[in-house]
Amino acid sequence: MLQNGNALSWILTVCACTVTPFVASAPSQNEGFFRLEVSNGGRASYLQGEKVLVEVWFSNPGDKPLTLALHRAFSGLEIDLVRDGEKVFPTPGGKPFGDLDPSKRLAFPVHRERKQGGQYPLTRQFGVLAPGKYTVRARYSQTEEDLRGANPYPGLVARDQVLPVTTGTAVSNQVRFTVRAWEPKAVAEKEVQRVVDGQRSIVQLVETSEGELLVAWKSAKSRAGEAPELVVVPTGVKASVRGVFWDATDEKCHVLYPTGEGEKKALLVVDKKAPSSVSLPLAEATLQQPKGAMVFVPLAALISFVGIAVIGWLRLRRRSRMSPTAD
């Protein structure tokens, strides 16, 4: 089960390329079983409240194909999270890996050099991580019973294909990261309505004591059994929160701020879902006449004026010749 309870959001990605994850220690597995790797993209630290996303990859280190029989939500996968040497337990109502019906496992072959995996926010299972030094590790076991109850994965298994029996246990490498506390120096806030359930939540534009802007989305009320939601997105922009122009929804926050280089301004677009932040330089929207028109319009006017003047002069000349003279 992943974010918003959508099992399909765990995208089963098969990639033939080799990805080198941030490996802090070597993974281990039984012979003839999967190799399991965990990565957080090499990030060393997070601010408290930031989404901590880990990638979990299954790969086949041997020559023979292996059968992976797991749920779309990676049922059977366990995550060990340790803070400052002590085990962290899931929050009440936190969604662990594999909280769906185990009989709905799907089996498919994984060939050599192939990787299978997905991304999972740790905060979904463990809530907002308190400041400290963390290690995370994944563990996966597969029994004959798991294989018997599994259905062939549509599109990946041919109709009469017999899949090899693959059983064993794999323990992933360990990934280390730090969660840092932050202090607000000044805060501007706005109440918004959540798109999903219409609930009210608060968006805060915060200038931290270190002078950096960050955006925090806080649910005013928690959903049944879940910890109140807090999503913090750092922007990497050093600016004062005073005098900026801003607006926020449940999903995005836009901040127009002075860059500090003369009169220049930039637009900060902060996305809660991705989560990401990008600063876009703004230019003056001064509309100008297209170059062709600028040349053509005065030229056309000049030609018309000269034409009219010449015709007028010719007519006057003719009239003066035809008129009787008073000799």
Partner 1 sequence: MHCLSTRAVAGAVFLTTMLGLRLSGGAAQSGDLPLKVEVSAARSEAYLYGEEVVLTIAVTNCGSAPVGYVRGGGNLPMGLRLSISCEGKDFVPQDGHSGNPWGDVADGVARLEEGSVLKERISLTYAYGVLPVGRYAIGLRLDQPPWPGVTRGTAVSNPVEFTVKDWRAAAAVGKTIECRRPDGQVIGATTVQLARTTEGELLVTWKTTFSGATSVDFRAVRLPPNLQISEGLWHASEKNCYIASPPDDRGRRKLVVVDRPSSSVTELELRQSSPVPVVHHSRPATKE
Closest CB to partner 1 among 286 and 325? 286
Residue 281 Cβ vs partner 1, minimum distance, rounded to whole Å:
7
Closest CB to partner 1 among 46 and 246? 246
The pairing of strands 212-219 and 66-70 is unpaired
Residue 24 Cβ vs partner 1, minimum distance, rounded to whole Å:
28
How many residues are recorded in the chain?
Answer: 327
Closest CB to partner 1 among 29 and 259? 259
Residue 203 Cβ vs partner 1, minimum distance, rounded to whole Å:
12
Candidates 210, 135, 147; CA nearest to 174 is 135
Closest CB to partner 1 among 196 and 283? 283
Residue 267 Cβ vs partner 1, minimum distance, rounded to whole Å:
6
Q: Could you tell me the two tokens for 228?
A: 């109140």
Residue 276 Cβ vs partner 1, minimum distance, rounded to whole Å:
14
The pairing of strands 265-271 and 276-281 is antiparallel
Residue 214 Cβ vs partner 1, minimum distance, rounded to whole Å:
13
CA torsion sign for 88, 91, 92, 93 is: negative
Closest CB to partner 1 among 38 and 205? 205
What are the helix (H) ranges across 159-271? none
Report the first-to-last Cα separation within the chain, whole angstroms: 113
Closest CB to partner 1 among 100 and 267? 267
Candidates 192, 258, 281, 177; CA nearest to 231 is 192
Q: Are 225 and 92 in contact (CB under 8 A)?
A: yes
Q: Are 298 and 290 in contact (CB under 8 A)?
A: no
Can you give the binding site for partner 1, defined by CB under 8 A? 183-188, 205, 207, 241-247, 254, 256, 265, 267, 269, 280-290, 293
